[in-house]
Structure 1
Amino acid sequence: MPRLLPALFASLVLLATGANGFRIEEASLATIQQGFGNGSLTSVQLVRFYLDRIRGLNPLLHAVIEVNPDALRHAARADAERRRSSGADGLLHGVPVLLKDNIGTRDALNTTAGSLALLGSVPPRDAGVVSRLRRAGAVVLGKANMEEWANFRSLPGTDGWSARGGQARNPYVLTASPCGSSTGSSIAAAASMAAVTLGTETDGSILCPASLNSVVGIKPTVGLTSRAGVVPISPRQDTIGPICRTVTDAVHVLDAIVGYDALDEAATVAASKYIPHGGYAQFLKKGGLQGKRIGVPNGFFNYANGTVQHTVYQQHFYRMWLQGATVIENLDIENLSVILDSLNNGEQIALVAEFKSSLNSYLSDLSNSPVRSLAQVIDFNNAHPVEEKLKEIGQLILLVSENTTGIGAMEKAAISGLNKLSADGLEKLMKEHELDAVVTPDSALAPVLAIGGMPAITVPAGYSSSGVPFGLSFGGLRGYEPRLIEMAYAFEQITNVRKTPRSCHSSAKVEM
């Protein structure tokens, strides 16, 4: 690989913790708080480290669109609060967080979904999940790159490209796909540009990039986290979740962002019944696979004998069995081929209508914006064909969406059909076999989960012969987060697969 990183990253910052040290670039939330508590680390130092790391790595990886000019000031405030309260402030207090660029913030940062059309727009308030993060004491570090319009602009997609952020690159194999649309969030977590990032998912947008960048992504049950203030696609399918390097950190972030929001009332009220008393961290159990019934549906693990993926996944199933799980293979999800055909199963009919309605509502609520409707977004792209790569990428989905006229008979029929596919498919399978989860590679199950608003957690599972990461996703019924966390955490602990990307690695140590 060409030597593209500056001399700053020839060495790593080492923080002393007694006789041993810990590295900021791989530090967990618990380790960071330990540093805060023993005085070897401050929020200001941590923010400076991440800002320096972004300056060094972002020209290579294009994971971050912009950084918050007020981040250091907010970090200093967190340090002052910690001194006054003797450090008892929670795991996210003083910790920098990168947000996907479709998650709104009422601050100096832009919220553009990667599009130049929204540059300069001003949300009326922080997104619901951002308000919760701020209340937990987190420092908003900046906005992460994403596939423009969350990969809902053209059929070919943009594979991690946006007009604002450029082409994001996989930190493990620079020529490999980083996937999307929560591309920058996943890359930034993997490359330690932040300890915590947030992504969004409508259909695979957390699970896919988290898997291909060797990090943990949680796609929550729809409504468990508020969508208020987030550039939308579909109120039926949109959800916001954490992307971190470990299951533990992702679960602590999930605890911070779930709950009721008056601005997303219907969905958050409906999902509130799933939130366990005492939160989700209680389900981080090393014996979490014991007694679990895990289904392996047909149609996903189609790897030839002898390939890395075939061998590794079979080993993982055996490890889960050794941990006391019942692994049931050769299960059929009814109408799976129909569910996976999003162009013909009714999903696209529903999504394009929902997108126009939801986006126009979002744009009309902005305090200030250069565009106020989907039609104006399309006009902007037509007026800026070079910057928006209109010839190469197009905007077919935007055009089709603009031609919709609301949720009419056709759209209602499509939604009804999707609900039936979900009920007769994965929901029926899991209930009949009394499954706690089904497992699939990477984001393969995402379309099945998307139409039912169901949750999943992806965990690093291995690396191909060329070094490209792949993951294992645990998916379940609505509200199954507790048991998914138990299984994902136990799997992570017994496999310990994740490794630092080589493009970001150094073995040197520097005292602060």
Structure 2
Amino acid sequence: MKKRSLTALTAALLVAPLLAAGAPGQRAQAAASVADGPPPPADAPLIRGVDLDTVTIPELQARMERGSLTPSALTRAYLRRIEAIDPKINAVLRTNPAALRQAAASDVRHRHGKVLGPLDGIPVLLKDNVNTRDMPTTAGSSALAGRPPETDAALVKRLRAAGAVILGKANLSEWANFRAARPTSGWSAVGGQTHNPYVLDRNPCGSSSGSAAALAASLAQVAIGTETDGSIVCPAGMNGVVGHKPSLGLVSQSGVVPISAEQDTAGPMARNVIDTALTLAVLSGRDHVRTGSALGLTDVGTRPGGLRGKRIGLWRLPSLGTEVDALMTRTAAQLRAAGAQVVEVAPPYQERLAALEFPALLSEFHRDIDAYLATRGGPRNLAELIEFNRTHPAEQACFAGQELFEQALVAPATTDPRYRAMRAELKDLSRRSIDETMAAHHLDAIASPTNPPAWTTDCARGDNDVIPSSTPAAVAGYPSLSVPAGSVGELPVGLLLMAGDRQDAELLSLGAAVERRLDAWRAPRYLPTSPSRTSGSTGR
């Protein structure tokens, strides 16, 4: 299929039927112009004529080009929302004191026609395991709560170079959910517990909990998450937003607190696919309009009939419950009505992947966390980190365990032939599980439910099970994308799309078409509780 440059894609989206009709979930709302007089309250949906719940980056940039909106006004609007709404959900650890200065610099660029790209002036939240030279980077642990890192993560340098406004740092599951055998997703010693905006006593999933919950509450335009297995896509699904786990290596991991170099990746999260795609272009270093490089998104997601003729394999995962399975049945019917062919599939080798992944991650974590800690103040290696946790009560406020740390300390080294055999088999089987399934059924993507309905948060119980849908792409290093599919009661469920290595652009294009057809995004209502109860699950 013909490919488009990022600049051309953005221009096309500005006139595409999707945007002419409004963003997903906005079909009945007319676009408002900038209002005269004082702005409405900070928690109102429309702030200075912009509906932060539904506005897209191309729409924001069009307003900025016309002069009816400035990056400073947009940044102030998000800061007001954080002040008004974040006390309900506890998703933002800290705002950036320099955010308004960065926005003011973007104001000048917009006035003089020297915009650096689609993210210039766009407020971005960073998960707090991404190094920032001017703010603490803690991974949620008081062990790293002292002096900030000396340099930015590579992805932060790219965001700054693209003119993005670094709005602040988001809470996360401490150490990206790789500390205790029974953790509570969304809890960290530094940030406390993040709540699901849809039902506040429900969990946001982990580990990119704060990033996803903040987006659901419209506290930033986009956010950065990280994933080893499930930590972008599960929070995205459970909080009703979009999350993309890129192909391994597409986004630099330099300066990101690690679990495993063999699986870790940072990735973009947003309330819609186009914002996610534009952010990925920056993170991957392919968005420099001045040099003409591009992500290369195809136009399937922006033209009418974009799903016609596409073949999607549905991996049902009935273990996630009858209500989720019923939602998948409805989703398949909607995709078929749009012209897609949906066939049921069962990717092979899943039991073997589940048996091998965790032991391999233990060895990799010991190697990689020791290397990272050597660059920071505080504990210098994993052994010292374990001792720190034993002697600091704040680290035991929700759950006391650090079983994964202790197991990693005695795991085989990554030079051990036993480890090497495990990782080689994992790489082979995970890639074959996707490649063979796609080839056998001539698929454009594999789809599955991203998550069950959110479970109640309970420190004593912790999270119960690992959700299996994220594992094949996570272990293979292939891309995956969660888009809102609907809800079980008040609780969102995502549809996870997976494809082959470096098929990120094709997956995002397909995701945009799926998003437009399902039109499933709904703003949260911040309900205090819900009568039903759901078992736990987790992601790393």
> The TM-score by the shorter chain falls in which range?
0.7 to 0.9
Amino acid in the other structure paired with 2:209: T
User: 1:391/1:10 Cα in 2 relative to 1: closer, same or farther (>3 Å)?
Assistant: closer
User: 1:12/1:485 Cα in 2 relative to 1: closer, same or farther (>3 Å)?
Assistant: closer
Q: Is the 8 A contact 2:300 2:510 kept in 1?
A: no
Picking from 333, 338, 349, the partner of 1:318 is 333
Supply the distance in 1 between the matched residues of 2:373 and 2:421 (Cα, whole angstroms): 27
Amino acid in the other structure paired with 1:392: F
How far apart are 1:81 and its partner, in Å? 2.0
Supply the distance in 1 between the matched residues of 2:425 and 2:251 (Cα, whole angstroms): 26
1:63-86 deviation digits (Å, cap 9, x = unpaired): 01111111111111111222222x
User: 1:11/1:424 Cα in 2 relative to 1: closer, same or farther (>3 Å)?
Assistant: closer
How far apart are 1:296 and its partner, in Å? 1.6
Picking from 433, 443, 450, the partner of 1:435 is 443
Supply the distance in 2 between the matched residues of 1:290 and 1:12 (Cα, whole angstroms): 35
Unaligned runs of 5+ in 2: 1-39, 287-292, 452-467, 528-540
User: 1:502/1:302 Cα in 2 relative to 1: closer, same or farther (>3 Å)?
Assistant: closer
How far apart are 1:310 and its partner, in Å? 3.7
Corresponding residue for 1:194?
220
Supply the distance in 2 between the matched residues of 1:88 and 1:364 (Cα, whole angstroms): 38
User: 1:12/1:480 Cα in 2 relative to 1: closer, same or farther (>3 Å)?
Assistant: closer
Corresponding residue for 2:112?
84
Corresponding residue for 1:406?
413
Supply the distance in 1 between the matched residues of 2:366 and 2:471 (Cα, whole angstroms): 21
Q: Is the 8 A contact 1:185 1:198 kept in 2?
A: yes
Map residues 28-43 of structure 1 onto 2, 5 A cutoff.
28-43=56-71
1:430-473 deviation digits (Å, cap 9, x = unpaired): 222222111100154211212111111111011112x0111101
Corresponding residue for 1:51?
79
Work out whether 1:156 is the aligned partner of 2:182: yes
Equivalent position SS for 2:77: helix
Map residues 89-168 of structure 1 onto 2, 5 A cutoff.
89-107=116-134, 109-168=135-194
How far apart are 1:278 and its partner, in Å? 5.2
How far apart are 1:487 and its partner, in Å? 1.9
Amino acid in the other structure paired with 1:289: L
User: 1:129/1:390 Cα in 2 relative to 1: closer, same or farther (>3 Å)?
Assistant: same
Alpha carbon RMSD of aligned pairs, Å? 2.2
Work out whether 1:14 is the aligned partner of 2:32: no
Picking from 296, 313, 320, the partner of 1:279 is 296
Amino acid in the other structure paired with 1:177: N
Supply the distance in 2 between the matched residues of 1:500 and 1:298 (Cα, whole angstroms): 26
How far apart are 1:121 and its partner, in Å? 3.8
Corresponding residue for 1:350?
360
Supply the distance in 2 between the matched residues of 1:12 and 1:423 (Cα, whole angstroms): 43
Equivalent position SS for 1:502: coil
Picking from 466, 484, 487, the partner of 1:460 is 484
Corresponding residue for 1:450?
474
Equivalent position SS for 2:202: coil
Corresponding residue for 2:516?
493
How far apart are 1:282 and its partner, in Å? 4.8
Supply the distance in 1 between the matched residues of 2:50 and 2:447 (Cα, whole angstroms): 34
Map residues 185-264 of structure 1 onto 2, 5 A cutoff.
185-259=211-285
User: 1:279/1:393 Cα in 2 relative to 1: closer, same or farther (>3 Å)?
Assistant: farther
Supply the distance in 1 between the matched residues of 2:120 and 2:525 (Cα, whole angstroms): 30
Amino acid in the other structure paired with 1:183: S
How far apart are 1:166 and its partner, in Å? 0.7
How far apart are 1:283 and its partner, in Å? 5.3
Supply the distance in 1 between the matched residues of 2:481 and 2:398 (Cα, whole angstroms): 36
Give % identity.
40
Unaligned runs of 5+ in 1: 1-6, 16-20, 261-275, 505-512
